[in-house]
Structure formats: structure tokens, C-alpha cells
Structure 1
Amino acid sequence: MIEIFQQHFKERGFKEPTAIQTAVNDAMANDKSVLGIAPTGSGKTIAFTLPILPKVMAGQGTQVLVLSPSQELAVQTTKVMREWAQLLDLKVMSLTGGANMKRQVEKLKSHPEILVGTPGRVLHLLESKHLKLGHLQTMIIDEADDMLQDSTLAVIEDIERATPLSTQLGFFSATKTEVLDGLNYMFGRDIIEYDVRDEDHSQGIVRHGQMEIAGKQRGEMLRRFSHIKDFRALVFFNQTKTMMHVASQLEHEHVSAMVLGGQQRNTDREKALRMFRNRQLKFLLTTDVAARGLDIVKLPAVINFDLPTEAVTYVHRVGRTGRQGEPGLVVNFGNDHDLRDLKKLLADEKYDLKPIYFAHNQLVDERPQHGEKPAHTENVQEKAHRAVRKAQLSDEHVNVGKSINRTIDVAKDQPTKAKRHKKKRHDKNKGIRLKRRRQAEEKK
């Protein structure tokens, strides 16, 4: 890491590079093509940013291209890279679908050195001759396991053919799929693989809970969740129709929630994400458009309103919480059959799904008895925060994806105020009945 980056790294409060940042640094700095696999939230964007930016020459045209699967992730990556590029007087620009094309073409005339874009928009600008990649040094494919599939793979191959044969390639992902095994053949390069999933300890403790609940009751449960103190959640759906129905239901109940969907206008998507990041919303409802790469600082929870059908999808969805050492919570809605299928789906993963319940405006891991709240019960979010604090104090690394298994000492039930009031009223009524009975006997 160059000196100016080292200084900024410390100013940002980072203590040391993460496992993926250390693993790929030398290879990327020396123009090697790499495949980097690391857990969600482990700093993959900085992992490829810091080694490649020092090689870029100001004023020499576009030398770095980063391809992202969504507009939101492209904008987020642009922001991160721009922060470091400004230290070297380099320009970073985003090229995303949904944004104004004429404005992008005009900005390209300033010859930015780094471009971050979605594949469709980048290819369109290439074919219209508004973008040239003849001087490209490095091309990064983020979320590669998702991007190198179906029609998107064909688009990326077309883009790659427009770059020099000497262009360095970087592929980054949180999960390993079969498509990543064929990169050498697919792109005709020697690609070095760095898989640090087992040695990375950047993720915080995340509790994975399952809540048995019928489909028709799930919208109402979200409304109840909105009463939990300091609770916010990214809520995932499999179908846009279901998502819009629940959004309408929450709006009717005056719950602060918005939708992040692929069919929305770009400005509406940006507004929804911005408000959620600024803690102005309780819920951000989305499909898997937000499952990959998005970094929402200190996101308390992820809710799977609809359960995913693939383990890879689950990994990416739940990776939005518990990032950078923060505690997190995942709530999976489903009936008994759905939840059994989910456990089978995740049999090879390191998740420990435990039952979770809603009682008295909090989430607890013990089934409420007769509607009464056990005295001094600690909710699952408090438990997660306590576990992280304990781990930090003992200076121990937190294992990825481990659930919290703590024994809660529950105090003996004390009579509630409602019970005392009921007993007092019963005693009073009993006295009145006895008095009336004596009066009746005296009249006789």
C-alpha cells in the first residue's frame, strides 16, 4: 500500500487490511489476473481498488473498468473508488442503465480514468462509439458468480473483446459456483485464485431465526415488527407482485416503508435507498436486486418474507447484515414445510437456524407462555450486541455466521399490575355481594 493510502487507511479508522485485501494485493499490483472469493462485507471493493489505482496515469484516458450487476452497487462502488482516487487526482465516473444517456456521453468527454458501470450500458456506449477501451489496463467483474451467467455473460464477453489482450482481469465474489472454475478457458488467461472464506473473520455474530407463520399473516407481522425499538430491516421477496401488495398494506397501516425494485425509475430507487440508509424508513422491500454487494452501515436485520430457493441466494441476502464486525439478525418467514425445506437447502452451510418469536414488541427466542412476558427476558438483538461486546473485550475473533447460544436466567414470575388490579376488583365485588346477602336476610 502506497504511503498516501496508508495514511488515509488509518484516518478512516481501519486497523489492518482484511484477509482478501492482503491476499490479492501483490498479484493485482503486479498485473496478475485474479479470482478473489471472500465473505460478504469483507472489503472486496477496497481489495481491488488499492492495488490498481497507483498504476493509473492521470490524463491518459480510461484505464480501469469495473462491471457491477446493479445500478445501486455501481453507484456504491463509484463512491468508494472516488474517495481513494481523489488522493491521486484521478476521475471516477459511473455508467448505469436508467441514468441520462446524453449526460453520460457528455461527461465521457472529460476522459475519466476509472469507469464503474452496468454491463448493458457499457456495451451500448461501446457500440455507439461514445466509449473506447483501447488503453484499458484493468477490468474488474464484481459479483462474478452472478454476472457470468446467461445473457450477462455474453455482454461481458463482448466488452472484454473490446479491450487489449494485455488487460488485467479481476473477478470477485462471495460464493464459489461452477462457472468460476472455467475462467481460464473462458477468457484465455492464467487466473490465480484466492479463497479466504475460511480465514476471514470480518463478519459479526449473526443470529439466524425461523418464524413459523402463514403467508397471509406475514404482512401483519411486519407491522408488529415496526414497533420494535430501533428495528430496521431489508425485506426480501421472490415475486414483485407480492412485494407491491405488502408495500400497499404497510402504507395503509402508516408504517414507514418503501420499495426498491428493478422496474422503478432510477431516481425513485436512489431515493428509497438513501432514506433507508439515513434511518428514515423501518423497512426497505426488495427482490434480489439488492441481495448482492450493497453495504448498508449497521443494518440490524434481514427478513426473508419469501424464502430463497437456492443456498447461494440465501448467502448473499443475509450478507447485508452483520457486516464489519457488527451484530446482525436474520428472520425467515415460512410454514412448517417451508422451514424444513430451508434447513435442507442450507445443510452444507454454517448456519444454525433457531426458532424465534414476537412478544410484547420484541423478538425473543423462547415461546411466550399464556401471553405473559417472562421477567427480565433479553431479546435477540440485545443478546447479539452483548455477545459482540464480550468478544471485543476479550480480543477474540468472531467466527462467521455463528448463532448466539446463551442461557437466559429468567426470574420468577411476579404478579403483573393487571393481575393485582383484577384481584383487587374481585375482592371488592366479593365484599359487596356479602353485604347485599346480609341485607336480604335481615329483611326476611
Structure 2
Amino acid sequence: MNPKLETFFKEQGFTKLSPIQEKTYPLLSTGHNILGLAPTGSGKTLAYTIPLIEQVTGGAGTQLMIVAPSQELAAQLTDVVRKWAKVLELKTVALIGGANVRRQIEKLKKHPEIVVGTPGRMLELTEAKKLKLHKLRAVVLDETDELLTDETLVSCRELISHGPARVQLSFFSATKTVIMNELPRWFGVEVKEVDVRSSDRTQGQVTHYLLETPVRKRVDTLRKLAHLNDFYALVFFKQVATIQAAAEKLHYLGVKAAVLDGQQRQVQREQALRDLRQRKVSLLLTTDVAARGLDIEQLPAVVNFDLPKDANTYIHRVGRTGRMGATGTVINLGNEHDLRHFKQLLAHENYTLCEGYLYKGKLVDEEKFAAAKQAVTDQPEKSKPKVKKKTKNKYKADLFKKKESVQAPKKHKKKKRKRQQLNKGKHDKKKN
């Protein structure tokens, strides 16, 4: 490793390379085309950044291009790559759809050595002769399984075709799809596969809960989760319309929540992510497209409001928590039928799913829930003082007496005064 990068590597708190970094470094340093497969949060970004920026020459035009499927991931990669490239005095520019294109064009006039962005915006700038790729040496397709589908596959191939005939290609992903077996056919190069998914142990301990929850009570469940101690999470939905309805209900219930979806402006999306990272909100409601590949440091939980359609989607969703050795929690909401089908979906994956319960302000598994319920049952009942029961007739009699005492006014007794004999005599004399 370049001495400057090695020093910076140690300053960042790293002691050794992760499995994917260790396996790919010698291959990328010697110009091989590779397919790197590793779990989410295992250091794939640095696995290609370090060896590839070492091959870049300062002031010689754009030589490294990194392509990402979403605006958020492209922005995140830019932050990481720019930090490491700065050590070697290299310039990095983000070319992201949704951002101001004129500013991007102005930055390209400074001839950056590295560009990071989304395929649509990059292709647009290339065709407009603003992004010049004639000196390109290496291309990285991050989240390959997402990029090589439908229109983005066409855009990626066309984008690469604007560079020289011999360009080093790198493909990185956490999951493998069918098209990855056909990379030579689509890109015309031989690719070496590096798969460390079974041997990588960088992910921390993640607990996967199943919370049986009918649809009508799911928003209220989110409210309860948001009030747990030190809880904040990414919440995944299938549709944007459902997100908006849930967000309105949560705001009404006093829960601090933000929305991240593809229909927002780039500034709004960046603000939503910033609010979650700074814990200004407890919940960030999003879809698979918007949150693909996001790295939110020390994110404690992921909630699946809508269960994923396949195992690959689940792998990418849950990979947002428990990254690089940190612990994490995944909470899957669904009714009895949904959860039964979901268990079958993940039958061949290496996940341990346990029943979860929200009990007295805590999220507990089935064993702890049963123990807590049993402890309540075993508590002795407090003895209450015995009260003499009055008979029906006696009660009526007491009631009658009470009414009588209330209703009957007190009689004032007149004082009997003895007349003085003297006065009496006077009156008698008058009469006579």
C-alpha cells in the first residue's frame, strides 16, 4: 500500500484489511477485472478505492469512474472516495442526477481525476462532450446486481463504450444474480470472481424478530418502537403512497419521522438522511430503491413495514444495520399468513428468526416474554381487609334511616318560662 494511504488507514482506526479488501487488493493493483462478492458492511468501498486511486496520476484527466445505482449511494461514495483521494492530492467530482448540472459542468472544467455518479447523469454529460473519458483507466460498478438490470444495464454499457478499448472493470455486490455469470458476454472481458460471503465475519450480531401485526396496527407499532430507549431505524415500504400515509399518521401521533423517496429533490433527500444520522428523527421511511447501499454509522435497527419480495432484497435491507462488527436489530412486521410465507422465503438463508413482542416498553423474544408473564402470575395477591357484607334488608333499613335523618327537620323545643307571681297577680287584678 502507498505509504501515505497506509498511514491514513491507521489514523482512521483500522488495524488490518477486511477479507474482501485483502483478497482484491493484489488483483486490482495488477490490473485484473474482478467480481467482488462480500456481505453488506464489510468494507467493499475501500476494497476498490485504495488499490485503484494508487494507479491514478495527478493532473492527467479523468482516469477512474465509479458508478452507483442511486443518488444517495453516489453521494455517500463521493464522501468516502474524496477523503482518501485527498491524501494523494487527487480531485473527486460527484455527477449525480437531481443535482445542479451547471455546477457539475463547472467542476468538470477543473479536470478531476476521479468521477463518482449515477449512470443517467454521467451518460448525459458524456454525450454532451462535458465528461471526457478518453484517458479512463478503470471503472467500478458498485451494487452490480442493481445496476445491471433493464435500462441501467444499457446505460452502463454505453457509458463504458465512450472510454478506451482496454479499461479495467470491477463489479462489486453483496448478492449474486444470473447476469453476473454472463459478464464476459455483456462487457467483452474475462472476470475473476472473489467471493468471501461465507468466510467473512465482519458483521456484528444481528437479531431478527418477527412481530405479528395486522396492517391496521402497523403504524401504531411504529409509534411504540419509536418510544423505545435509544431507538432509531430505517423503515422499509413497498410503495411511496404507503409511506406518505404512514408519515402523516406518525406526525399526528407525535412521532419524529422523515421520508426518503425517489420523488424528492436531492436537497430534501440529503436533509432526511442527515436528520437520521444526527438523531433528529427516530424513523426514516424509505423504499428499496432510495436506500440501496446506504451506510448509516451505528444504525441500531431496520424495520420491514412491508416484508421483502425475495431473499436478495432482504439481504440488502438488513445490511444497513450490524455493519463492521456493530450489533443490530431487524424487526419484520406482518400477519400470521405473511410471516409464514416469509419464513419459507428465507428457509435456505443463514438467518435465525425469532418471535418478538413489545412488552412494557421493551422489545423481547418469546422466551423473555413468557418468563415476564410467568413472573406476574406467580406474584402473591395482596390481602385486602375483610368488609362485612350487609344484608339486603339491613341495607334498606340503613338507607331509610339516612333519608329520614336528612329529610326530617329538627324540632326546636320551646323553653318553658315560669311567670313571676307578681306579674301574674297584676294581670289578674286588671281583669277584675
Whether the TM-score (by the shorter chain) exceeds 0.5 is yes
Residue 368 to residue 83, structure 1, CA distance change in 2 (3 Å): closer
SS state at 1:312 partner = helix
Which residue of the partner structure matches residue 250 of structure 1?
A: 250
1:357–1:367: 8 Å Cα contact kept in structure 2? Answer: no
Amino acid at match of 2:9: F
Once the 2 structures are TM-superposed, how far is the Cα of residue 249 of structure 1 from its aligned partner?
0.4
SS state at 1:224 partner = helix
2:235–2:286: 8 Å Cα contact kept in structure 1? Answer: yes
SS state at 1:242 partner = helix
Which residue of the partner structure matches residue 298 of structure 2?
A: 298
Which residue of the partner structure matches residue 189 of structure 1?
A: 189
Deviations 1:261-292 (A, max 9, x none): 00001111000001101111100000002442
Which residue of the partner structure matches residue 20 of structure 1?
A: 20
Which residue of the partner structure matches residue 344 of structure 1?
A: 344
Q: Note the 1:361-376 alignment, pairs <5 A.
A: 361-366=361-366, 373=372
SS state at 2:210 partner = strand
2:37–2:172: 8 Å Cα contact kept in structure 1? Answer: yes
1:74 aligns with 2:74: yes
Give the gaps of 5 or more residues in structure 2.
402-432
SS state at 2:235 partner = strand
1:159 aligns with 2:154: no
Once the 2 structures are TM-superposed, how far is the Cα of residue 344 of structure 1 from its aligned partner?
1.2
SS state at 2:93 partner = strand
SS state at 2:54 partner = helix
- TM-score of the superposition, structure 1-length normalised? 0.85
Deviations 1:304-355 (A, max 9, x none): 0001111110110010011111111111111111111111111111011111
Residue 219 to residue 59, structure 1, CA distance change in 2 (3 Å): same
Once the 2 structures are TM-superposed, how far is the Cα of residue 7 of structure 1 from its aligned partner?
1.2
SS state at 1:288 partner = coil
Which residue of the partner structure matches residue 130 of structure 1?
A: 130
Q: Note the 1:8-47 alignment, pairs <5 A.
A: 8-47=8-47
1:97 aligns with 2:91: no
SS state at 2:289 partner = helix
SS state at 1:272 partner = helix
Give the gaps of 5 or more residues in structure 1.
376-409
2:126–2:132: 8 Å Cα contact kept in structure 1? Answer: yes
SS state at 1:171 partner = strand
SS state at 1:93 partner = strand
User: In terms of Rg, which structure is larger?
Assistant: 2
Which residue of the partner structure matches residue 430 of structure 1?
A: 387
Mapped to 2, the partners of 1:61 and 1:8 lie a distance apart of 25
1:85–1:91: 8 Å Cα contact kept in structure 2? Answer: yes
Q: How high is the sequence identity, in percent, across the aligned residues? A: 48
Amino acid at match of 1:2: N
Which residue of the partner structure matches residue 48 of structure 1?
A: 48
Mapped to 2, the partners of 1:320 and 1:293 lie a distance apart of 8
Mapped to 2, the partners of 1:137 and 1:121 lie a distance apart of 20
Once the 2 structures are TM-superposed, how far is the Cα of residue 6 of structure 1 from its aligned partner?
1.4
Which residue of the partner structure matches residue 217 of structure 2?
A: 217
Once the 2 structures are TM-superposed, how far is the Cα of residue 127 of structure 1 from its aligned partner?
1.2
Amino acid at match of 2:387: K
Deviations 1:385-439 (A, max 9, x none): xxxxxxxxxxxxxxxxxxxxxxxxx799546xxx75xx5xx42x726979x98x9
Which residue of the partner structure matches residue 285 of structure 2?
A: 285
Which residue of the partner structure matches residue 107 of structure 2?
A: 107
Amino acid at match of 2:162: A
SS state at 1:363 partner = strand
Residue 412 to residue 217, structure 1, CA distance change in 2 (3 Å): closer
2:359–2:369: 8 Å Cα contact kept in structure 1? Answer: no
4+ residue stretches of structure 1 with deviation over 4 A?
A: 367-370, 372-375, 410-415, 431-434
Residue 433 to residue 21, structure 1, CA distance change in 2 (3 Å): farther
1:360–1:373: 8 Å Cα contact kept in structure 2? Answer: no
Amino acid at match of 2:34: V
Deviations 1:375-394 (A, max 9, x none): 9xxxxxxxxxxxxxxxxxxx
Paired positions, count = 397
SS state at 1:55 partner = coil
1:68–1:142: 8 Å Cα contact kept in structure 2? Answer: yes
Residue 359 to residue 121, structure 1, CA distance change in 2 (3 Å): same
SS state at 2:387 partner = helix
- TM-score of the superposition, structure 2-length normalised? 0.88
Mapped to 1, the partners of 2:207 and 2:387 lie a distance apart of 50
Mapped to 1, the partners of 2:87 and 2:377 lie a distance apart of 61
Mapped to 2, the partners of 1:302 and 1:155 lie a distance apart of 32
Mapped to 2, the partners of 1:238 and 1:156 lie a distance apart of 26
Which residue of the partner structure matches residue 121 of structure 1?
A: 121
Residue 221 to residue 148, structure 1, CA distance change in 2 (3 Å): same
1:92–1:112: 8 Å Cα contact kept in structure 2? Answer: yes
